[in-house]
Structure 1
Amino acid sequence: MRILVVDDSSPHRRMLTAIFGHGGHEVLTASDGEAALAILEREKVDAVVSDVRMPKLDGFQLCRAIRRDARWERLPFIFYSSVFIGGPARDLGRDVGATAYLDAKDITPQQMASELDRLVARHVRAEYDATLVRLLDDVDFARRYHQVVLDSLHGAGKEQMRDLVAESKRALDSVLSRLDSERQTLAERADRKVEAAQLALLKELGEFLGDRINNPLAVIMASAQLLEMRAPGSATTEAAERITAAVSKINAVVREIAEKSGERVI
């Protein structure tokens, strides 16, 4: 992982850099919240480990700023402090969106690497579960939308377009089945670790829904009445091509998800 360590203490930054580096992680450092935000603007980071008391922008303000930005709203953010450890501080940390609030008196620096791995793994798994539920709903909507479009493509001159949409729907049926199988596997194995790469794949799949499929389907459905006894227009043909390309990409991504999950792909 790429970890951003935020602490105004240079010795603390060096210590955590050495510990996380020994654990196989790449470490970026910032001396305050403002510097951390500047790094996040230009670098991809997998987790933030931050002190609370810092100049310019402290840890609470940093976490709040991160959670208010859609790009980082799900980024694991972990407080690690030996000063602000009381109930009000923990409550504020939780309320501004921290993933965890660790007391340096309870967790030694040497334990931080394994604790970070555990917290990030739990966070990734929870986000994966939630993303999968949303995708199941999105794919089911797209699949049912295909059926509505198919029902509008009856009559002469629409056979080719109907075949294309029907093939796309069959592919989405398969996608839905695989995703539901993944959901059931996760439900049965609460301890299964999900890698960040698998979460990235699932998010990639989500990007190919919506504009890539549903909007082109709307074009085809709106044009259905114009296809009587004539060849499809360029807009309709382009819409069908976009759907075909998107569904093909979805199939490839879902197969990769299945392979990474240990499913035998035929």
Structure 2
Amino acid sequence: MTKNLVKMKTLIVDDKLENLYLLEALLRRSGYETVSANNGAEAYELAENDNFNLIISDILMPVMDGFTLCRKCKKNDKLKNIPFIFYTATYTDAKDEEFALKLGADKFLIKPQDPDVFLNIIKDLFDKIKQNEFKPREVSNLSEEIMLTEYNYALIRKLEDKMNQTEENEKSLKEYVIKLEKSLEEKRIAEEKIIKMNAELEQIIEKKTMELQ
């Protein structure tokens, strides 16, 4: 395959269609060819049966997540030298990035990136490939047990983040309910005052009317 800028083929992996659409549009407008997958398992099958110059993957996905996809690619002789970029909005902790690089990922980018900045990263990477200057990051020389432990820790961190977020949401909801109840009570009191004032006003009008008769 001629490593021409226009023919560079990228595999984009994300379970959200809007994210796939945005990346496809951005890369295709810049002259790159793209193929999309909705999860790691689908992406791995595509990668084994096609030739890609780059893989850009989300992390949190059903069926097979991005961490597992990267790990499998780096253990596959055909796929291990393909540049691998994580592009994530959920795994944003420094420890997540550290683990991703240990798996052999070449870049760890947080969504959203400025389009120009993102394209410059891709262009620089493809330029290195064209000039035979690209060297894939080496996978950390850790045992499967340690890798699995770090993977589980990453999942636990994300679960804790979700739980903390849920607690914050519940706290915000309770505060909203309290404010709403207070507002409704104030409205009820105000309405009772208006009803009382209207009744008193009607009595005054009725009395004045009788006096004039």
TM-score, normalization by structure 2: 0.56
The answer as to whether partners of 2:48 and 2:79 remain within 8 angstroms in 1 is no
* Alignment-derived partner of residue 172 in structure 1: none
Match of 1:10 among 10, 17, 21: 17
CA distance in structure 1 between the aligned counterparts of 2:120 and 2:134, rounded to whole angstroms: 18
Asked whether 1:113 is paired with 2:119, we answer yes
* Alignment-derived partner of residue 99 in structure 1: 106
Q: How does 1:229-240 map to 2 (within 5 A)?
A: none
Match of 1:125 among 133, 146, 158: 133
CA distance in structure 1 between the aligned counterparts of 2:50 and 2:18, rounded to whole angstroms: 23
How many pairs does the alignment contain? Answer: 127
* Alignment-derived partner of residue 69 in structure 1: 76
Q: Cα deviation per residue 1:10-63 (whole Å; 9 max; x = unaligned)?
A: 000011000000010000000000000111121111100011100011010000
TM-score, normalization by structure 1: 0.45
Larger Rg: 2
Identity score, percent: 26
CA distance in structure 2 between the aligned counterparts of 1:83 and 1:116, rounded to whole angstroms: 21
What secondary structure sits across from 2:22 in the alignment? helix
Amino acid in structure 1 at the alignment position of 2:10? I
Q: How does 1:155-194 map to 2 (within 5 A)?
A: none
How far residue 110 of structure 1 moved from its aligned partner, in angstroms, is 4.6
* Alignment-derived partner of residue 142 in structure 1: none
Q: Please list every run of 5 or more consecutive structure 1 residues that lacks an aligned counterpart in the other structure.
A: 129-266
Q: How does 1:119-158 map to 2 (within 5 A)?
A: 119-122=125-128, 124-127=132-135
CA distance in structure 2 between the aligned counterparts of 1:82 and 1:109, rounded to whole angstroms: 15
The answer as to whether partners of 1:80 and 1:103 remain within 8 angstroms in 2 is yes
Amino acid in structure 1 at the alignment position of 2:133? R
Match of 1:79 among 69, 83, 86: 86
The answer as to whether partners of 1:77 and 1:100 remain within 8 angstroms in 2 is yes
Q: How does 1:185-224 map to 2 (within 5 A)?
A: none
Point out 4+ residue stretches in structure 1 off by more than 3 angstroms. 120-124
CA distance in structure 2 between the aligned counterparts of 1:98 and 1:62, rounded to whole angstroms: 11
Asked whether 1:47 is paired with 2:31, we answer no
Amino acid in structure 1 at the alignment position of 2:120? S
